[in-house]
Amino acid sequence: MSYFDAASAAPLHPVARQALLASLDEGWADPGRLYREGRRARLLLDAAREAAAEAVGCRADELVFTSSGTRAVQTGIAGVLGGRRRIGRHLIVSAVEHSAVLHSAEAHEADGGTVTRVPVVRSGAVEVGAYEETVRADTALACLQSANHEVGTEQPVAAVAEVCRAAGVPLLVDAAQSLGWGQVHGDWSVLTASAHKWGGPSGVGLLVVRKGVRYAAREAEEFGNLPAIVAAAASLRAVRAEADREAVRLRELTERIRVRVPELVPDVEVVGDPRRRLPGIVTFSCLYVDGEALLHELDREGFSVSSGSSCTSSTLTPSHVLKAMGVLSEGNVRVSLPAGAAEEDVERFLDVLPGAVAGVREKLGAPAPATAVREDELIVDALGKRCPIPVIELAKVIGDVPVGGRVRVLSDDEAARLDIPAWCEMRGQEYVGEEPAEKGTAYLVRRTS
């Protein structure tokens, strides 16, 4: 089995396993106690904190361990908002933040605060000027991930941090995906991360609050699973020692996937920034493919990958990241290679993928080229049908109208609002817009070629 979902959780690093087992014998006592066993545990905790702080690039007394990356995010946002409540209650987040950040923003709004969600360009990156325009006198906090968890795009953290610093606004950086590859540069104020993203044990997060940041602490005690903390710090140091060499190797493998997938599989869109991205992540979307069905096909072939397609979600709505980028969501596949991923496994994935996609398309009745011309406008009734059926039905009939003719697609699937415009861009057709319909929404497409 080839595990290609390291962006969700990286396999436990051997150093983490060794440190975890060793510290179970030495670090079981309460490090807050003054007797011998407690002092021994305290030494382990202090050493872990020093190692983690060195990796982050902060002071040891600025870093605490939490029970998860999500808890680190929630605690960090709440702490800064509470500490700067007198300044204002305006929060800035990017539209592609991790759901932990966006859920905290929603909770802040429900509590009477205001939130501005900064859009991204098609590559998934924010524009620095957008943050500059959004900062206000009552802005208490701005948030920006260091790199995106779904498409791998790196964000201009240093430049945004400079804008925030000039305005006197702290910047919280979610570094969950990038910290294993290197320090986050820039004058940020708060940083969060999660150990299972770099090969540490699950259930350990990092929260760093720089000295001088107004912060209202809401947790009296630090998370206390000492063996897991020791393993997290040890593995972070270990992966950093290997990061530069491994990054070069994984970039070559992911670039191979980025280039060859569109050559091997028709009607594919590779998403995310082609250059400013994390070493091991590559994401692409396939037209006329059900994401869940494709993941099952690849699983049967021995590959573990993930997807942002709406049809792999119980909500039947597309990934908020893909939606914010304005890219195709159907048939979405994220390949995130773990450290040590074998070249032969990548080659085997490229051999298997075309057949897997073709099989799913055949089951769904994907379109063959059409040549007949009948009417100036056709109506496609896709009400009650989920992705990617509305787009498949559109593709089947676009050739049945003359150049300049229109197709009206009736759909009540939220994914159609994203995928029909994306299909038009990929196929060189004109997306006219949407109109309310008696049931659902009517999406208008004009044939241009």
- Catalytic residue IDs: 311
- E runs forming strands in 216-375: 268-271, 281-286, 303-304, 332-336
Gyration radius of the chain's alpha carbons:
24
Nearest to 423 by CA among 285, 275, 224, 291: 285
Report the SS3 class of residue 97.
coil
Please, is 221 exposed, middle or buried when counting C-beta atoms within 10 Å of its C-beta (0-12, 13-18, 19+)? Answer: exposed
DSSP codes, 49-69: HHHHHHHHTS-GGGEEEES-H
DSSP string covering 130-172 = HHHHH--TTEEEEEEESB-TTT-BBP-HHHHHHHHHHHT--EE
Residue 36 CB coordination number (10 Å) = 9
- DSSP secondary structure string for all residues of 244-273: HHHHHHHHHHHHHHHHHHHHHSSSEEEES-
